[in-house]
């Protein structure tokens, strides 16, 4: 008996999106605060979500990468002003 929750009768696709949602939140945080810490955490969580076939994994990966890159750019701009 499998302990995995399936949705719509398709096996292998989890209905849980915990890792994806955490990755999206960390990606958003990395845009404004500590991209060197939250960015990689977001990307790692998104990759885990992708391996678990979560529905929002691609969105989470995009938000994680973009949040990290733009967080570093924003940090460099703010740093150069001072």
> What are the tens digits of pLDDT across the range 54-80?
999 999 999 999 999 999 999 999 999
What's the pLDDT tens digit per position in 4-59? 555 444 445 546 889 999 999 999 999 988 999 999 999 999 999 999 999 999 99
How many alpha carbons lie under 13 Å from residue 74 in its C-beta half-sphere? 14
The residue length of the chain stands at 82
Contact indicator for 23, 58 with CB cutoff of 8 Å: no
pTM of full prediction above 0.85: no
Please give the angle made by the CA atoms of 46, 49 and 55, to the nearest 5 degrees: 105
User: Rounded distance, CA 44 to CA 52, Å?
Assistant: 13
List the beta bridge partners of residue 7: 10
3-state secondary structure of 6: strand
The domain limits of the chain are 17-81
């Amino acid at each position: 008996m499998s302990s995995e929750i399936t949705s719509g009768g398709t096996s292998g696709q989890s209905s849980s999106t915990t890792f994806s949602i955490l990755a999206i939140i960390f990606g958003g945080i990395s845009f404004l605060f500590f991209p060197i810490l939250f960015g990689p955490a977001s990307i790692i969580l998104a990759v885990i979500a992708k391996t678990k076939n979560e529905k929002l994994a691609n969105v989470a990966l995009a938000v994680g990468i973009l949040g990290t890159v733009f967080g570093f750019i924003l940090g460099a701009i703010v740093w150069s002003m001072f």
